[in-house]
Amino acid sequence: MGLSVLIVDDDDIAGGLSRDLLKDAGMDAELLTNSLRAIDKLREKRPELVVLDILMPGIDGLSLCHKIKSDPELSSTKVVMVSGKSFEADKQRARQYGADLFIEKPYNIETFATQIAEVAHRPAKAGPVAGGEPVPELKSAPDATLQITVWGCRGPAGPKTPPSSQYGLMTSCLAIETGERKMIFDAGGGIVPLGGQLALAGPQELFLFLTHFHPDHTQGLGAFEGVRSSGYTLHLSGAKEPDKSLQDLVTEAIEASLPAGAGVEANIQLHELMEQTYEVAPGVMLTSFYANHPGTTLGFVLESKGRKVVYCPDSELYGEGATALQDYDDRLARLCQGADLIIHDGRYTAEDYRMTKNSGHSSFISAVHMAGKAGAKRLLLFHADSQYPDEVLDRMGIEAARTSAERGYKLDCAVAREGLKLGI
Ligand SMILES: [Zn+2]
């Protein structure tokens, strides 16, 4: 028999389906519908992996996950949470309690067994999260005036990209709402589901700002509702290249990503940006600046209602090895001074950065130091390499928070995750 899996679900139809899918994939899967018996059953059967539904009478899945991961005898059991509820707070708790994966119901029956097998074969975490250091998460401000949603936050796919990740695998896209205006930053893969959500409210006027035209920042453009569908007016702002106009860059990016048979129906208005401050809506100031990255690449500082957010996803900080002529880290820290939130390139671990110097991306530790020196309140490490398994990202978050505390920075740090909503 293959991998042994226990499914705990009070619904014997849904649970039975999961069991059958896993059995078909050659696993030794068993269903338990009484969650109160789960811990006894786990001790007796010792499965390698347990699938827990969140909403169950008796004892709920989150409490069970917590129990399993804080029990020294059971903590090495992999835990997959499944739920029809997709509240971010539940996902966060699941992660904090050490769950290895969260799958939303209805799940994809084609990939369910593959996802389970992939989690089962991941190396065990360094230690039970409940007993060790929790993976840090950023907290929203109680009096938030800006709402930030991460729709995509990973680097481009590579040969070792895993099939799934709790941090998501879609490329850069971020939404910032000020109350008066919703602004979208970058058009990586994450902009496609964002477009699906926007479409619920019907055609509208949209504001999109592009940092640059590398494919991982534009690959969602052609499939974006705000480009394809009529009735939309899309204000697209970005910088031109020395040898290419903004119009040409946008046309090429759309053509490269337009799904077969689709056309461009929206009214697209282009706005060329330079290193300058713009009032993009009443009282909303946006400063664009050149980031240290190949080609013309912008970073943005958004200021509204006394809050300051910096978005700079592709940016190479030189860190401790900076030479006398490399003053980019200090320049960026000045721009980021006192920010409530910095969303910055944290693509690599310190070791990997040494091998990839001058590629235009940073070690996450350099981002912590830059944000700490800037006196910022929060740092979201963005654009993590898509080939890192979740364990590496967990460790990056923990190490970032530890470094910030050791250096005495008043800076909360976390690694960005798809679906994250943050009030600032
Ligand atoms: Zn880039």
Give the start-to-end residue ranges of the domains of the chain.
Answer: 4-121, 147-423
Q: Give the mean pLDDT of 76-87.
A: 85
Q: What own/partner pairs with CB < 8 Å and gap ≥ 24 does 40-48 have?
A: 41/6, 42/6, 42/68, 42/74, 42/77, 43/73, 43/74, 45/4, 45/6, 46/4, 46/77, 47/4, 47/5, 47/6, 47/77, 48/3, 48/4, 48/5, 48/77, 48/78, 48/120
pLDDT of residue 122: 78
Residue 347 alpha carbon to ligand 1 centre in Å: 11
Least confident piece of the model among 123-127, 149-153, 376-380, 418-422: 123-127
Residue 336 alpha carbon to ligand 1 centre in Å: 20
- Percent of the chain residues past pLDDT 70, beyond the cut: 97
Residue 187 alpha carbon to ligand 1 centre in Å: 12
pLDDT band with cut points at 50, 70 and 90 for residue 59: confident
Give the distance from CA 18 to its chain's centroid. 27
pLDDT tens by residue, 4-54 = 999 999 999 999 999 999 999 999 999 999 999 999 999 999 999 999 998
Whether the CA torsion 16, 19, 24, 29 is positive or negative: it is negative
Non-local CB neighbours of 242 within 8 Å, separated by 6+ positions: 296
pLDDT band with cut points at 50, 70 and 90 for residue 124: low
pLDDT of residue 125: 57
pLDDT of residue 238: 98
pTM above 0.85, yes or no: no
Residue 398 alpha carbon to ligand 1 centre in Å: 26
Residue 291 alpha carbon to ligand 1 centre in Å: 10
CA-nearest of 3, 63, 55, 23 to 39 is 63
Residue 232 alpha carbon to ligand 1 centre in Å: 27
pLDDT of residue 76: 87
pLDDT band with cut points at 50, 70 and 90 for residue 1: low
What ranges make up the beta strands (E) of 327-423?
Answer: 341-345, 378-382, 412-415, 421-423
Give me the chain's average pLDDT, please.
92
Residue 313 alpha carbon to ligand 1 centre in Å: 8
Is 131's pLDDT higher than 50? Answer: no
pLDDT tens by residue, 363-375 = 999 999 999 999 9
HSE on the CB side for 335, CA within 13 Å?
A: 27
- Do strands 147-152 and 173-177 pair parallel, antiparallel, or not at all (unpaired)? antiparallel
Distances (CA, A) of 178 to 94, 167, 240, 342: 30, 25, 27, 16
Please give the structure tokens belonging to residue 148: 């930030």
Domain spanning 4-121: which CATH class is it, in words?
alpha beta
Is 128's pLDDT higher than 60? Answer: no
Residue 404 alpha carbon to ligand 1 centre in Å: 27
HEC secondary structure over 106-157:
CCCCCCHHHHHHHHHHCCCCCCCCCCCCCCCCCCCCCCCCCEEEEEECECCC
Is 89's pLDDT higher than 80? Answer: no
Question: What are the beta bridge partners of residue 301?
Answer: 287, 310
Check: CB of residue 105 under 8 Å from CB of residue 115. no
Q: Give the mean pLDDT of 220-233.
A: 96
pLDDT of residue 130: 36
CA distance 263 to 241: 26
Whether the CA torsion 28, 34, 37, 38 is positive or negative: it is positive
Q: Who has greater pLDDT, 180 or 275?
A: 275
Residues counted in the chain: 424
H-helix segments, 242-313? 246-257
What ranges make up the beta strands (E) of 1-141?
Answer: 4-8, 28-32, 49-53, 78-83, 101-104
Is 239's pLDDT higher than 90? Answer: yes
What ranges make up the beta strands (E) of 353-411?
Answer: 378-382
Residue 337 alpha carbon to ligand 1 centre in Å: 24
* Ion ligand 1: residues, Cβ under 5 Å: 214, 314
Q: Who has greater pLDDT, 397 or 75?
A: 397
Tell me the fold of 147-423: Metallo-beta-lactamase; Chain A (3.60.15)
pLDDT of residue 57: 80
Residue 310 alpha carbon to ligand 1 centre in Å: 17
pLDDT band with cut points at 50, 70 and 90 for residue 339: very high
Q: Give the mean pLDDT of 58-76.
A: 87
Q: Who has greater pLDDT, 322 or 145?
A: 145
